[in-house]
Amino acid sequence: MVDHYDDYSNDTAILFLHADRNQWHNDDEKYDGRRMLQRFNFQHLMREGYVNMRCHPYPGCTGGLDLTTVPSVINTSESATIFGILQNLAILFPGSTRPPDHVAVGCCAQFGVTVGTIRQTPRKRYEELRQWLLDTSIPDQTSGRVMEYMWHTLFGKPAIHCPDPRQCYCQVYGRCDLNCVDGDCGVYVYPFGAGRSWFNRIKDYLGI
């Protein structure tokens, strides 16, 4: 976004993915990034300009982050992220009198974006954010999660960006006619065989 800002045509699609093929948050029954890429609908990305590669709403979209109150105790990854955002409003929301009350997006900072969408934001803005990441005193894990909740806003989406899971799976991965209950559509399976509530406890314990 910085070094190659001017190198590609506006209709170029770029995917930002974690380096390892298998990730606990990959939206696939086998957590397989390759299978996700094989199904990914690039035409949908070209229409939207930005697409989160996770359709399952948990974590990130089931509650999001409440930015109206400073956490009194920093004991979860969510509270640390909220605190990190509120500590750095000037860099994260420059020129804004106040941040949004809530921010929500499906985890975990894997997304597709077109070069045209990237260029809607000046290169200087990306340079400022990169420098903040290099200089900030908050832990890398927390600053990474802060950015996880910021990317979609940089690319023109509202602070709460949580597409309907059933529609998302159909448009992004061509997996239509799924039977979805409370966001679970039979595609993503919680690791460790845990349900959502138990996995939330495991996630906080591991700090992921």
Pairing of strands 102-105, 160-161: parallel
Comparing CA positions, the residue from 48, 167, 157 lying closest to residue 113 is 48
pLDDT in tens, 106-124: 999 999 999 999 999 999 9
Beta bridge partners of 116: none
Q: Look at the block and give the residue holding tokens 């406890």.
A: 201
Give residue 75's pLDDT.
85
Q: How far is CA 180 from CA 52, 62, 74, in A?
A: 19, 14, 34
Predicted pLDDT at 201 = 58
Beta-ladder partners of 12 = none
169, two tokens: 């799976």
Those residues of the chain that have pLDDT short of 70 are 192-208
pTM for the full predicted model: 0.90
Give me the helices (H) in 40-122, please.
42-48, 77-87, 89-92, 115-118
pLDDT tens string 59-70: 899 889 999 999
Q: What's the longest Cα–Cα distance across the chain?
A: 47
